[in-house]
Structure 1
Amino acid sequence: MRFLLIYPPTEPYFIQKTKARSFYGLSPPLSLLYIAKILENNGDAVTILDYSTKIFNEQTFFKMIDVADAIGMTIISPSLNEVKKIIELIKRHSPDIPIIIGGPHCTLRPKETLEETGAQISVQGDGEVVIQDITKALKGEKALTDIHGITFQTPQGIKCNPLAPIISNLDTIPFPARHLLKHSIYGREYNPLLKAGEFTAVITSRGCPYHCRFCSRSSITMQQYRIRSNDNIIAELNEIKEQGYRHVAFVDDCFPIYKKQTIKLFETLKNEGLDLNYSVTATRVDMADQELYKKMRRAGVTHLQFGLESGNQDVLDFYDKKTTIKMIQRAVHLSHETGFFTIGSFIFGAPFETKEQFQQTLSFAKSLPLDSVSFLPLRYMVGSDLWNEAVAEEKITEKEYIVLADKQRELGQYSAEELLKFCMNAQYSFYARPTFFIHLLKKSLHNNDMSFMKSFLSTVFSTMK
């Protein structure tokens, strides 16, 4: 069979016909690349459209549909509205082509997603095994009613099958089919000079053992945390090197978790001499360790990104971060001293949080040796504890999957517009300091590595897109 797999845009901007500029994605969609590899191993042909890297063109889109036997699409909650538009176009052009959806949003709301999008089949949980059974069903070799892990349309209505078992041994999953997106540009937030085929990502685990109240990852991964072996990770990184990549991002929900295993991993990577650069897109301050950081830096890690969230202990406790202000200070300083480009993200908008507390967080951020920051409004995300509580209290409805901490909804102290303005002003205030630019220049010169300055400029310009 011929499959067209689509990574949809998360913003309406990307699905316009009039824009004529080049785009690059933050990171390739590993979920689709894993599915693509399974399909290719079974003899199927696969094409991937990643709309984080290109502009939607209706004529080209229809041509690709015309040569496909089935469409697959991953859905995250922020992309749901754009997915609806894409599926509407598909149905108008080719009403009989099967449409299969999966991804985080489908795992959280399988029946509702089918109802809202009109797709035929929704996959919950790990898709690598399920997609093989779905392919058999499309070929008439198996009944959809016999496939665990899916919800599907029938003439009598939507039917929900039992969940499929999770893949307990992640080492059994073939490596992603990266060649399908080798022509796309990713990672310029880390280095603006990266070209197509030079940046990719790996994931060494699935799930997260923590339960921050604003996050839905635990629900998406069914409260399960699984890790790959070092041997399996190293084998994939060797393949990545052979494919010509230069920079690799570890995109786990949280990395690392186990100190001893991670130290051994980076010791081996150093000894292997792969000559790759690495970024860590999500790490915790309570994982900071001098020995570990030194091993990571020597192996080629250049960037660490922390979810810091707040400079107020009561806000950290409300989010159930299980971190302290002192932990944050220690981790960020250790990251800086080790030589990493250190990124921190903060959240404004806890229900009791005042503008004075926003200012305290901003002042706290300025006191840290951070090389890049983001200040984001609190969002009540479907599947998170905060979202579940707000639904139970009837402050939001079950059909509202992402809601800003808005005073009018009794979710915060300020309106959504005020909250967004606080975030934008904080971002500007942080970067507008001459002392910040001097700090970053000194760091670049000290490390004899101007990529830090390039990363800063790339990050700033990416926020202006």
Structure 2
Amino acid sequence: MQHVRGEIIKFLLVLPVESDFRGTYNVLFGLAPPLGLLYLARVLEDDGNEVEVLDFSAEKFEPHKLLSRLPSVDVVGMTVMSTSVHKVRKMIEMIKEKDPDIPVVIGGPHCNIFPARALQETHADISVQGDGEKVITEIKKALNNEKSLSEIPGVFYRTKDIIKKGPPHRPIKNLDSLPFPARHLVKKYLYGRAYNPRIKKGEFTSIVTSRGCPFRCKFCSRRAVNLNLYRTRSTENILEEIRVLQSEGYKYIAIEDDSFLSNKRQAHAIFDAIIREGIDMKFYITAARVDSADRDLYRKMKKAGVVSIQFGLESASQRTLDFYNKKITVEQIKYAVKLSHEMGFLTSGTFVLGAPFETKRDFKETVKLAKSLPLEVASFLPLRYRAITELWVEAVKEGKIAPDEYEVMADSNRGLGLYTAKELLKYCEKAQLSFYLRPKYFVFLLKSSLEKNDFSILHMLISIYLSAIKEHINPFRLHSKKDQKRLEIR
């Protein structure tokens, strides 16, 4: 493709929402800033460009919000998840109808695993596979006719109706070489409400200390979408970013690594430094493995300001855990959750129901385990076969899932488990209700809040419930009725 405008200096970076239902939940309950886009934004700013970010996980999508920006921008960049492909395509169609000549560049998880197909599906102009930070300024040069797209590693592009590609992508080996994300571009958004409803704009953000995951859980796509690479930043580089965030007025940080505490040596070093330097911030660990539970480390985390940990617990069945290749035991689950509670952390756990051989008896055992653990928050989710995971690849080979179905719920009608998608959804929602609507749970939650002198979790649950009711959403429902129909057998 050839760019016909003047020199490019203004970029609009967009995070689309995955679905209307998820988007409503995201806006209501607050997630975290789009760090991937913010890393790109910083690189572009350092290169002398103007950048604006639209985060439709933090504000409701309305076409005019996107289209009104087009007259003042030269390039639109979008993150594409496998579950947001159709939304992205509609947005790009709107953009091209308004301005056919504006280049649209896509990147993110879906482009990492299906770079050429992503172009065909979304009608974008350029798709980037792999790390975008070293590529985006090269794409700018190509659009300004200073070089050819065919020279740029990891780039797929269309010339008329033919998709071409540059050399293979080149991963960034040294993550310390990257500038810190341009968080000032999303200061207008309120993030972190799911962690603490009292958080104000500009107080909450997130960081990642690594890219990728060293583990191979069969239902998880994180390793694959990071192109099977696992890279970590240096301890000093991470600490420097935390110092910068404190100086910018942030008070709460979510550590969003796929498996942060697994690198125990680095975790010890980071929390030692936070304690030594007297950094006064609160930290939320969004994904921890139970086999990383360690009393000395947890004590240090508590002293450093960690307030909550979220575990992927999955099941009460060792057979199921082994099937998922979790490399953990039920005893490790019990130990980690109890230790977390003992240390005073707000403890969350997610469970997955619907392995191919699981019966309702297995589901009941998992719910029973959840109720026996000192968890402030528990989520029961139906098993999903997500693009490029081991489970998905096997199901595609067996003809149970089409190659262009990127997220399919376990469903006996497809030969994926013992129950239909509708039955599985109902059981998960029933599990949610039975966990939360227990007198024992309310007593535990009140006691836990009093012991911690922290009522944020109680406040959060009440706030989420009232907000959901106000927006006519069942807070215990996992999908909209439209999504439920879509996920059932066609």
Fold agreement, TM-score > 0.5: yes
TM-score between both structures, scaled by the size of structure 2: 0.92
Question: Match for 1:131 among 129, 136, 146?
Answer: 136
Q: For residue 370 of structure 2, what is the aligned residue in structure 1?
A: 365
Q: For residue 167 of structure 1, what is the aligned residue in structure 2?
A: 172
For the residue of structure 2 that corresponds to 1:280, the secondary structure is strand
CA contact 1:378–1:405 (8 Å) conserved in 2? yes
CA contact 2:13–2:52 (8 Å) conserved in 1? yes
* Alpha-carbon distance in structure 2 between the residues aligned to 1:33 and 1:23: 22
CA contact 1:14–1:54 (8 Å) conserved in 2? no
CA-CA distance at 1:455 after TM superposition: 3.9
CA-CA distance at 1:453 after TM superposition: 2.5
Q: For residue 120 of structure 1, what is the aligned residue in structure 2?
A: 125
Question: Gaps spanning 5+ residues in structure 1: where?
Answer: none
Q: For residue 178 of structure 1, what is the aligned residue in structure 2?
A: 183
Q: For residue 310 of structure 2, what is the aligned residue in structure 1?
A: 305
Paired residue type of 1:340: F
CA contact 1:14–1:51 (8 Å) conserved in 2? no
* Alpha-carbon distance in structure 2 between the residues aligned to 1:271 and 1:59: 49
CA contact 2:16–2:84 (8 Å) conserved in 1? yes
For the residue of structure 1 that corresponds to 2:313, the secondary structure is strand
CA contact 1:379–1:403 (8 Å) conserved in 2? yes
> Does 2:275 correspond to 1:266?
no
* Pairing 1:372-391 to 2, within 5 Å after superposition: 372-391=377-396
Question: Match for 1:351 among 329, 334, 356?
Answer: 356
Paired residue type of 2:154: G
Question: Match for 1:66 among 61, 71, 85?
Answer: 71
Q: For residue 37 of structure 1, what is the aligned residue in structure 2?
A: 42
* Alpha-carbon distance in structure 2 between the residues aligned to 1:322 and 1:63: 50
> Does 2:10 correspond to 1:2?
yes
Paired residue type of 1:6: V
Q: For residue 87 of structure 1, what is the aligned residue in structure 2?
A: 92
* Pairing 1:285-300 to 2, within 5 Å after superposition: 285-300=290-305
Question: Match for 1:428 among 428, 433, 456?
Answer: 433
* Alpha-carbon distance in structure 1 between the residues aligned to 2:22 and 2:353: 27
* Alpha-carbon distance in structure 1 between the residues aligned to 2:364 and 2:307: 30
CA contact 1:24–1:52 (8 Å) conserved in 2? no
Summarize the Cα distance change of 1:214–1:3 in structure 2 as closer, same or farther, 3 Å threshold: same
CA contact 2:150–2:167 (8 Å) conserved in 1? no
TM-score between both structures, scaled by the size of structure 1: 0.96
CA contact 2:14–2:79 (8 Å) conserved in 1? yes
1:32-87 CA deviation, whole Å, 9 max, x = no partner?
Answer: 00000000000000000000111223223211111110000001112222111111
> Does 2:262 correspond to 1:257?
yes
For the residue of structure 1 that corresponds to 2:118, the secondary structure is helix
> Does 2:19 correspond to 1:11?
yes
* Alpha-carbon distance in structure 2 between the residues aligned to 1:306 and 1:313: 16
Q: For residue 229 of structure 2, what is the aligned residue in structure 1?
A: 224
CA-CA distance at 1:456 after TM superposition: 4.0
Summarize the Cα distance change of 1:25–1:95 in structure 2 as closer, same or farther, 3 Å threshold: farther
Moved more, 378-387 or 22-31: 22-31
CA contact 2:347–2:377 (8 Å) conserved in 1? yes
* Alpha-carbon distance in structure 1 between the residues aligned to 2:225 and 2:283: 26
* Alpha-carbon distance in structure 1 between the residues aligned to 2:173 and 2:60: 37
Q: For residue 190 of structure 1, what is the aligned residue in structure 2?
A: 195
> Does 2:154 correspond to 1:146?
no
1:183-237 CA deviation, whole Å, 9 max, x = no partner?
Answer: 1001111100111111100000000000000011111112111111111011101
Aligned Cα root-mean-square deviation (Å)? 1.7
* Pairing 1:411-422 to 2, within 5 Å after superposition: 411-422=416-427
CA-CA distance at 1:160 after TM superposition: 2.6
Summarize the Cα distance change of 1:351–1:372 in structure 2 as closer, same or farther, 3 Å threshold: same
Summarize the Cα distance change of 1:22–1:413 in structure 2 as closer, same or farther, 3 Å threshold: closer
Q: For residue 393 of structure 1, what is the aligned residue in structure 2?
A: 398
Percent of paired sites with the same residue: 49
Q: For residue 317 of structure 1, what is the aligned residue in structure 2?
A: 322
